[in-house]
């Protein structure tokens, strides 16, 4: 019942201030978005796209990128651990593998498992903005863009002018919490250079026979140079090192006292050539990852090494003021060497085209067609059409198309290479690719340039969805290394799932006076998923049926007061061996307060995560922390 005072506080914040100026942390009116792979106004895209500036990190009580996404309208984060340890992102009821993460136009999703997709290899201060495209976008971006797309645009790669800056921050709190980060940015006449270090550490709160410790470190360096002939070169190098308690992250066994170590490196380069009526983009990236997972301290770890190579070339141009297009090609290679999953490699390629035109007046149409080929599932043809009518403050939009997703290496080969497996999740090399048809209709209304309300109805008919389901030994397709008495969950294609829902987004961001500013966001999502398969699947049955998430930051002179929160209503689950329950509902509230030094030279701040000390889990068995108090100081030059 603590949810209702929070909602009342937000209503008071909404009604207590008058619109007088225009400052933007959330971008609303006349926003140019690139999540459709071309710069266009959001109202012309025919999609529900939320764009949030990177400055939201300093305005709200969050510790990592996934913390921020958790409180954006309509985004469900299923967190296994705090402060970036590990989170699964879901949009519109999909699984965590059905959301594509992109950084500066390049796919970031991990070939080993989608559990690592939120390990973003840039410092939060380097992020210019985050765009969330809700709904299918496979015709543009390919596999995994089923439920939505998270598009991260960084300052250095954007090519826009930014002021030189340096900032450093340290935060300490209960349970041995010690976080520190530094970031610098330098801009010259033709060059830009930025770099950052981020480190989150804690002994953690007590768990079953262990503690929820984490040590999470990210370092990155980015460089951009304007060359002759309107060419621009962008280069990034990043490294990410993580060690954390992983108890019951992947199992509901009482013997699980797991820990995990994930180290990765990221190299990315891009060349862009501007023409009078368009631009040519060439991108290449490489990701190297090593994942070590110990189920028990004395056990030998699962040791997985993966390589991911990707390259793409596309041209975006204009035929006239009313007509534009994008033509492109992509190629990727995935490799794994593992004592648990074996050694495997896959090639993938694609050709695609996008046509954007304005048939007349305020009517806009976007059509996409993509042809993919993969060594594991062959050819896939993916169409999509988006339409919008935007005569004034009101925008009506509709979209329909196909989406698809291939299995990752964990879903295909988990526990496949071991001599003996007595229980756990078993991969399935015979998995087929998922396919779905998607449709949505919605409306956006701008009460002012900085106050928008959006609503959408959506429907997805999913065939061959890949998920884990408890399976008897007798029904296992391969029994070579299994035992008849074992308890197993098999990766399998469920027969068919139909998902429908409604979402409502409220976005408000204004200077409310000469020395005051208010940022407020709230999202309501209702979902209903029907599975024709009598065997319930793990992640589809775990998503929220009703989701409310919200965030508010009020600045008065040098003081900022902020709130973030989430309420979920979902199916109840129980694990008798752990005496654990995934409750039917929970509500969590976080609060922060900060004082800005004169001249914007830094600030001091206090933060309370899980203010009301709620006991909860997003996934069965993965206990999230209770109340956690912290405070710190930031210096900016």
What phi and psi values does residue 287 have, to the nearest 5 degrees? Answer: -125, 130
Cα distance between the two ends of the chain: 44
pLDDT tens track for 527-544: 998 877 766 677 777 889
**pLDDT at position 4, please?**
47
Other beta carbons within 10 Å of 550? 23
pLDDT at 439: 97
Cut 0.75: pTM above it: yes
On average, the pLDDT of the chain sits at: 89
- Residue-wise pLDDT tens digits, 137-194: 999 999 999 999 999 999 999 888 888 999 999 999 999 999 999 999 999 889 999 9
Whether the pLDDT of residue 16 is over 50: the answer is no
What is the pLDDT averaged over residues 610-616? 94
Q: Long-range contacts for 583-589 (Cβ within 8 Å, ≥24 apart)?
A: 583/616, 583/617, 586/614, 586/616, 587/2, 587/3, 587/6, 587/614, 588/612, 588/614, 588/616, 589/2, 589/6, 589/563, 589/564, 589/565
- pLDDT tens across 463-496, in order? 998 988 889 999 999 999 999 999 899 999 987 8
What residues have CB less than 8 Å from 75, skipping those under 6 apart? Answer: 69, 89, 91, 132, 523, 549
Phi, psi for 409 (deg, rounded to 5): -65, -35
Give me 263's structure tokens: 């180290």
How, if at all, do strands 434-448 and 394-405 pair?
antiparallel
Examine the pLDDT at 27 and tell me if it is beyond 70. no
Q: Which CATH number fits domain 3-636: 3.30.70.270, 1.20.140.10, 3.40.640.10, 2.40.170.20?
A: 2.40.170.20
DSSP H helical ranges for 313-470: 409-413
pLDDT band at 460 (very low <50, low <70, confident <90, very high): very high
Per-residue pLDDT tens digits for 81-118: 999 899 999 999 888 889 999 999 999 899 999 899 99
240-271 residue pLDDT tens: 999 999 999 988 888 889 999 999 999 999 99
Asked if the model's pLDDT at residue 9 lies above 60, the reply is: no
- Nearest-angstrom CA–CA distance, 124 and 261: 22
* Cβ-contact 348, 334 below 8 angstroms: yes
Q: How far is the C-alpha of 103 from the C-alpha of 462, rounded, in Å?
A: 27
Please state, in angstroms and rounded to a whole number, the distance separating the CA atoms of residues 185 and 161. Answer: 11
Per DSSP, what are the bridge partners of residue 471? 488
Cα 112 versus chain centre, distance:
17
| Residue 56, pLDDT score | 79
Least confident interval from 56-60, 202-206, 325-329: 56-60
Distance of CA 588 to the CA centre of its chain: 20
Residue 445 has which token pair?
A: 């209304």
Give the pair of three-digit tokens for residue 168: 């450093």
Tens digit of each residue's pLDDT (9 = 90 or more) over 261-299: 999 999 999 999 999 989 999 999 999 999 999 998 888
Q: For residue 20, is pLDDT > 50? A: no
Q: What angle do CA 570, 573, 576 make, to 5 degrees?
A: 160
Quick one: pLDDT at residue 11?
A: 43
pLDDT at 453 over 90: yes
Do residues 85 and 134 make contact, with C-beta atoms less than 8 angstroms apart? no
The β-bridge partners of 381 are 371
């Amino acid at each position: 019942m603590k949810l209702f005072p929070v909602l009342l506080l937000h209503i008071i914040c909404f009604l207590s201030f008058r619109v007088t100026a225009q400052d933007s942390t959330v971008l609303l009116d006349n926003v140019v978005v690139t999540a459709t792979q071309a710069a266009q106004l959001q109202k012309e895209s025919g999609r529900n796209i939320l764009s949030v500036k990177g400055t939201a990190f300093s305005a709200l009580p969050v510790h990592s990128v996934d913390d921020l996404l958790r409180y954006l309208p309509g985004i469900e984060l299923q967190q296994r651990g705090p402060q970036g340890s590990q989170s699964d992102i879901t949009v519109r009821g999909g699984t965590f593998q059905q959301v594509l993460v992109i950084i500066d136009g390049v796919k970031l999703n991990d070939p080993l498992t989608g559990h690592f997709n939120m390990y973003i290899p840039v410092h939060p201060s380097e992020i210019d903005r985050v765009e969330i495209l809700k709904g299918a976008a496979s015709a543009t971006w390919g596999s995994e863009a089923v439920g939505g797309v998270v598009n991260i645009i960084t300052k250095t790669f954007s090519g826009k002018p930014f002021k030189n800056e340096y900032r450093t921050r340290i935060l300490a709190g209960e349970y041995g919490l010690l976080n520190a980060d530094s970031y610098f940015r330098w801009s010259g006449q033709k060059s830009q250079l930025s770099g950052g270090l981020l480190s989150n550490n804690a002994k953690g709160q007590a768990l079953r026979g262990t503690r929820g410790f984490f040590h999470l470190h990210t370092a990155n360096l980015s460089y951009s140079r304007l060359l002759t002939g309107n060419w621009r070169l962008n280069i990034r190098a990043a490294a990410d090192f993580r060690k954390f308690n992983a108890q019951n992250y992947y199992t509901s066994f009482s013997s699980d006292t797991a820990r995990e170590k994930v180290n990765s490196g990221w190299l990315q380069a891009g060349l862009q050539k501007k023409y009078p009526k368009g631009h040519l983009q060439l991108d290449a990236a490489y990701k190297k990852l090593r994942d070590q997972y110990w189920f028990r301290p004395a056990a030998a770890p699962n040791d997985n090494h993966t390589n991911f190579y990707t390259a793409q070339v596309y041209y975006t141009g204009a035929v006239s003021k009313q007509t534009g297009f994008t033509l492109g090609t992509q190629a990727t290679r995935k490799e794994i060497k593992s004592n648990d999953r074996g050694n495997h490699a896959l090639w993938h390629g694609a050709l695609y085209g996008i046509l954007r035109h304005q048939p007349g007046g305020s009517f806009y149409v976007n059509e996409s067609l993509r042809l993919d080929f993969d060594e594991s599932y062959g050819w896939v043809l993916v169409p999509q059409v988006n339409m919008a009518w935007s005569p004034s403050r009101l925008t009506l939009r509709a979209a329909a198309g196909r989406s698809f997703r291939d299995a990752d290496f964990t879903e295909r080969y988990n526990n496949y290479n071991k001599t003996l497996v007595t229980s756990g999740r078993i991969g399935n090399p015979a998995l087929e690719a998922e396919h779905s048809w998607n449709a949505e209709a919605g409306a956006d209304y701008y009460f002012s340039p900085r106050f928008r309300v959006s609503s959408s109805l959506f429907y997805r008919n999913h065939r061959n969805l890949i998920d884990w389901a408890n399976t008897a030994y007798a029904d296992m397709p391969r029994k070579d290394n299994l035992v008849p008495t074992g308890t197993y969950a098999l990766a399998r294609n469920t027969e068919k799932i139909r998902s429908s829902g409604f979402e409502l987004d409220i976005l408000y961001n204004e200077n409310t006076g000469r020395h005051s500013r208010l940022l407020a966001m709230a999202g309501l999502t209702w979902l209903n998923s029907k599975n024709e398969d009598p065997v319930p699947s793990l992640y589809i049955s775990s998503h929220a049926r009703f989701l409310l998430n919200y965030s508010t930051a009020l600045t008065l002179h040098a003081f900022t007061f902020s709130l973030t929160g989430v309420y979920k209503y979902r199916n109840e689950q129980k694990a008798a061996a752990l005496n654990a329950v995934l409750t039917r509902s929970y509500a969590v509230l976080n609060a922060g307060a900060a004082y800005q030094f004169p001249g914007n030279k830094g600030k001091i701040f206090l933060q309370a995560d899980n203010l009301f000390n709620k006991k909860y889990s997003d996934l069965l068995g993965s206990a999230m922390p209770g109340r956690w108090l912290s405070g710190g100081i930031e210096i900016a030059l």
